[in-house]
Chain A
């Protein structure tokens, strides 16, 4: 436990150091107003990383989150264009439901047919994106076609923070409660930590993984509406490749890809770390072309660090068998 705590402490320190470094050249970056903007910008990554965290915790992976986001967002935009009268609350409920349904499809294949999650979500990732094309024939939904209420909801500021940011805060707190206070949260840890042992304690491993996918899908759907409304545009390739950013945020946040180890705070901090890097680069005059290489390097450094910290301190009898398992 002290290890886990120190990992998050280190992430907080890294984030503060990053902010201090940027601020030393551009003090404007750490004004409260800009920090709120950076947080709002990172909110989608935070929400998706939390969903992904639950999935990775149960020894699975969800590569379809970005495609789920794009499809749900497009459906919301299309409904808004055809029926501008539909209230935003209904659209959000619909986004949650549709996202959860797509998560359930992933979960079903993993639970009932025991197909490895990486294979299932690789397939559904391309299928979901293809469905967007079938729905729209490749055309875009533009800002002027969307209703004012639809576009303004995520940007509405409450106490200085836009709704998009608040959603990230609420999801963080909500999932924090689920993970620490419910039997479901406990089951996620148990299934990831030792699936065989959890079978003996009466936990249905497949069903738990199914629920993890439903949560991840639901959050992806929610983000879909928020994303499309915020940027006021919807098209097939929206958030393309974002699933890897999401996995990267989890990994930076100390979520073990082998399952069983994760914290809500870690996932949020990992997402914030990536988000701050992305927002800081243009400010410190680094060309956007450096962004990919820098986030790639950050992932590798973080995972190297995690594995150093997480290595068990047992006696190694055969040195070469240490990594082999």
Chain B
């Protein structure tokens, strides 16, 4: 899906980015633009509804994005490496189904959670092995496994549902770690730090960028491309399993249609965060801010009683708009 940027690539920039001062670089960065958007929406929200600025409300709003963001963090690394996983929402469904089966067999919360995480990991391994061992394009493989994983959930569940999870299982999706801080929010913050460090401070993160920029060059400089990609698919699968634990716990039931359409929201979150869909560039802080932007938008519109489907217009427009505006600006300045 490589895209041709011949129009922009042909015009050399006279001043390399790194020669401008750090201050202007930060001001002009994608993350600060996004942060501005986030603050703007926050202010708009607080004017739009008197019920907005309430700690419990704001805490509730975090459910709009925490589960998706857990997956988005792992997906960020995967997309930077030049691959994509469209099966994540289906992995949630399959993990949730596995948890339901384990619950019905009479096991307690630890076994249920373990089943969810393990199923996620196995699904990630399946994707990763197909992509790396057979050299298939990940977008096609995961369109296939997207149907396959959810299909297995449908085969097991039919039009039924699993209900009756143990009471202590509710902790993951409904529990509070401290005052209004939800357990999911704690996961969100911890994972943001873990993935941020992994991507920006380790050799592993460096190889992820290297692979995304030029996989062949990375191979010849000694990076084990296949292994890194396999690890990234495993991480994305594991995060989907974790998100499934949280979502199942929050809803208290498993249906085969759980989380449908979520894969596109997660990809939207990553792209909105400034990650190049073609690989090679992007940052984790950008995705963290994008998660807040999307959460705030849906929450604000919800306060105004805007129906869900109209929210999706706004999210879609935001995605195209935020990415188009800097390019329009650049095109205008060149003329």
Contacts and interface: CB of A to CB of B under 8 A. Distances in A.
Interface of A: 59-61, 109-110, 112-120, 122-127, 129-131, 133-134, 138, 195-196, 199, 205-206, 236, 244, 247-248, 251, 257-259, 287, 289-297, 299-300, 303-304, 307, 311, 318, 320-325
Contacts of B224: 320
Contacts, number: 191
Contact of A297 (B2, B144, B220, B310): B144
Contact of B140 (A236, A292, A299): A299
Contact of B220 (A236, A321, A323): A321
Contacts of A297: 144, 148
In terms of DSSP, what is the predominant structure of the interface of chain A?
helix
Tier of interface size on chain B: 35 or more
Contacts of B137: 257-258, 303
A130 B313 CA distance: 5
14 contacts: A61-B139, A115-B320, A119-B277, A120-B320, A123-B317, A125-B316, A133-B307, A289-B158, A289-B159, A295-B151, A297-B148, A300-B148, A304-B134, A323-B226
B75 to A, nearest CB: 14
Contacts of A324: 215-216, 218-219, 225-226
Nearest to A191: B4
A10 B137 CA distance: 21
B268 interface: yes
A127 B309 CA distance: 9
Contacts of B225: 320, 323-324
Contacts of B135: 307, 311, 322-323
Q: Which 9 residue pairs spanning A and B have beta carbons closest together?
A: A293-B151, A296-B147, A130-B313, A296-B148, A292-B151, A323-B135, A299-B144, A126-B316, A300-B144
Given A113-B328, A292-B151, A320-B225, A129 B309 contact: yes
Contact of B136 (A130, A307, A322): A307
Interface stretch (B5-13, B51-59, B95-103): B5-13
Contact of A118 (B1, B146, B158): B1
Interface in B134-156: 134-137, 139-141, 143-152, 154-155
A117 B4 CA distance: 11
A151 B333 CA distance: 52
Given A61-B1, A130-B312, A244 B143 contact: yes
Contacts of A244: 143, 146-147
B92 interface: no
B309 A133 contact: yes
A289 B154 contact: yes
A206 B7 CA distance: 9
Q: Count chain B CB atoms within 10 A of each CB in A61, A114, A258, A297 and give the residue with the most.
A: A114
Given A113-B327, A129-B309, 5 more contacts: A114-B8, A119-B277, A195-B6, A259-B1, A295-B147
Contacts of A134: 310, 313
